[in-house]
Amino acid sequence: MSGILEGKRVLITGVLMESSIAFHAAKLAQEQGAEIILTAFPRPTLTERIAKKLPKPTKVIELDVSNDEHLARLADLVAEELGGLDGVVHSIGFAPQDALGGNFLNTPFESVATAMHVSAFSLKSLTMACLPLMQNGGSVVGLTFDAQYAWPQYDWMGPAKAALEATSRYMARDLGKQNIRCNLISAGPIGSMAAKSIPGFSDLAAVWDSRSPLEWDLKDPEPAGRGIVALLSDWFPKTTGEIIHVDGGLHAIGA
């Protein structure tokens, strides 16, 4: 029996460690029949080492989503490898240290602008860079952390994720006529490299210990990876502009 991504070609960003949600999305995508290509920044060599743990070899392209030259060359580099694309996974987020960890009221705009550019605007710029390769439609899937709430220590990454969620909805509106779906997975906290960059991450993660209806494991990125693969597949043909929660159900619980 073939996998749900059989014949699909997918670009995946954000594979930094084996504990990354993006790594598990890449692994599951290959297991489900997809051909994939990875992008990485600022250390492509790190991603190349991690990529060796995937079921099949895959090419890694250096891509800084805030660099217009990198974006301009992306389609040609991907086309050389895969010919075209059926899916894009946006697993990119960054905020300077002074935009995190309880410094919300004192963060300078320059740091806020960086967080917004890399974490939110890049969903649009990455998708537009890949658009020439998606002639037959496709699926764009991003990763958010529920922006309905103000989380401990998360500070300006919260508004950046809110901007990401709004960007996804507007992209769904404008790309639907090209049969391109744009959705997000809202994942619970995972002990990834990104999490380690957030001061006081343990305070944020502790919320899941007391409020999540389903037991949540900080060391298990696979559920979120499965959600990404499902949205990349043809099993959600008319779903766009959606946010699917893979968070143990915490989003539904008031207290």
**What DSSP string runs through 170-183?**
HHHHHHGGGTEEEE
Locate all alpha helices (DSSP H) within the chain, ordered by sequence: 21-31, 44-51, 68-82, 109-116, 122-130, 157-175, 193-196, 201-211, 222-232
Q: Which of 124, 149, 161, 177 is catalytic?
A: 161
**pLDDT at residue number 2:** 80
**pLDDT at residue number 201:** 73
What is the tens place of the pLDDT at every residue in 114-128?
999 999 999 999 999
Q: Residue written as tokens 């220590």?
A: 153
**pLDDT at residue number 210:** 87
Q: Where are the domains of the chain?
A: 9-247
Query: Is 219 an active-site residue?
Result: no
Whether residue 167 contacts residue 127, with contact meaning beta carbons closer than 8 Å, is answered with no
The rounded distance, in Å, linking the Cα atoms of 199 and 97 is 8
What is the tens place of the pLDDT at every residue in 208-222?
888 999 999 999 999
The rounded distance, in Å, linking the Cα atoms of 74 and 104 is 35
Q: Which of 8, 27, 124, 154 is catalytic?
A: 154
CB-count burial class (<10 Å; 0-12, 13-18, 19+) for 252:
exposed
- pTM (2 decimals)? 0.95
**pLDDT at residue number 254:** 84
**pLDDT at residue number 209:** 86
CATH code, residues 9-247: 3.40.50.720
The rounded distance, in Å, linking the Cα atoms of 181 and 234 is 11
Query: Is 170 an active-site residue?
Result: no
**pLDDT at residue number 194:** 62
Low-confidence ranges of the chain (pLDDT < 50): none
